[in-house]
Amino acid sequence: MAKRRSQQWAPVAVVQGRIRQYAADQPAMLVVGAGFTGCTIARTLADAGRRVTIIDKRSHIGGNAYDYYDEDGVLIHKYGPHGFHTNSERIFNFISRFTEWRDYPLRVLAFVENKLVPFPINCTTLHMLYGIEPTEAAAGAYLANARTYCEYVSSSYDVLTESVGPVLAKVFYEGYTKKQWGLDLWQLEPSVAARIAVRTTADDRYHTDTYQGVPLHGYTKMFENMVDHKNIKLELNMPYDPAMRHYFTFWTGPIDEFYNHKFGPLPYRSLRFERIHYKDVEYAQPVAQINYPDVNVPYTRVLEYKHMTGQKCPGTTLIREYPEAEGDPFYPIPRTINQELYKKYHRLSERESDVIFAGRLAQYRYYNMDQAVGAGIAAAERILG
């Protein structure tokens, strides 16, 4: 990246005041990245009368939520499963302007001890594995006896041993974590394990949010509707160039990339996908997602998207996911050492008067889709008031 122009760094409060004034002076704004956060920013600005150009180095809109019809006519999510869920009425109403919904609460099974059992762990899981009565009371008693107390919770391992005990932590999480993150449970921040519920009821939904579903006509169509506005111009196959610095910019890519990895690259996990198609099978597995926690199985999960989309077509497609260290950045790795590195970049970003950083990669946070939308709305509102 070309050398940035020199500038006097001002206190953060002063810079924040300049941001709004600088943006107000711009005839058009630039959004880098056409995923959830970028498209949300662009549409929010466009609705307020601002002209916006969105660029993305990929050939398609939608970021990692992009979906498409594969060579056998099956609608699949190119970069892994995306079941939208939120408790925010405001965020749900915003997205619902651009799509109808197929009501779909994600259900997941895990293959452990040669059985497919519900995940997250619930009373049915414990009944199938250990023979306890499939009741809330029996599950509660089992977990109470299995848990171990941790005086100071400092890792995902501590969270899990306190919630399900060391045995279930090993069965369901230890191998999966090693594959997904390339790390042991004790090396990950508590927030990772805290994302996954543990239930004593028979509720087998992966999420319990008020609003759950997938866009009725697909994510790509939804994103196309979001940017269908007279004030929005979309440019695909268009990487960011420092010559674009004359625009007021919303950056949704990796923050370390914007600063040319000045302090070193931030670590991310990526994914590799293996496609398997069955021509004469309507469904090849009972649910959309099956997890494989065993560390000796090289993939983490297998997806069958017809369960999610409700598509009726001949045959079905399965996708196996293989986590990898190299490739497109999917997941910021939640470790204290990585957060310390991110903070160095964040301190630089706080002094920018003509750039706002928003989204999973720009803020180095493990956002869900609704949180990515919320980040986009918040970013746009910083200059709209």
For 274, the token pair is 């293996």
Express as a percent the part of the chain with pLDDT over 90: 86
Give the C-alpha separation, 381 to 376, whole Å: 9
Taking the model in full, what pTM does it have?
A: 0.91
Mean residue pLDDT of the chain comes to 92
Give the C-alpha separation, 140 to 154, whole Å: 25
Domains along the sequence of the chain with CATH = 12-61+227-266+333-384 (3.40.50.720), 123-194 (no CATH)
HEC string for 72-91: CCCEEECCCCCCEEECCHHH
287-306 pLDDT per residue, tens: 999 999 999 999 999 999 99
Q: What value does the mean pLDDT take over residues 305-330?
A: 96
pLDDT at 20: 56
193-230 pLDDT per residue, tens: 888 889 999 999 999 999 999 999 999 999 999 999 99
pLDDT at 8: 41
236 vs 15, which has greater pLDDT?
A: 236
135-193 pLDDT per residue, tens: 999 999 999 999 998 888 999 999 999 999 999 999 999 999 999 999 999 999 998 88
83-107 pLDDT per residue, tens: 999 999 999 999 999 999 999 999 9
For 72, the token pair is 């056998």
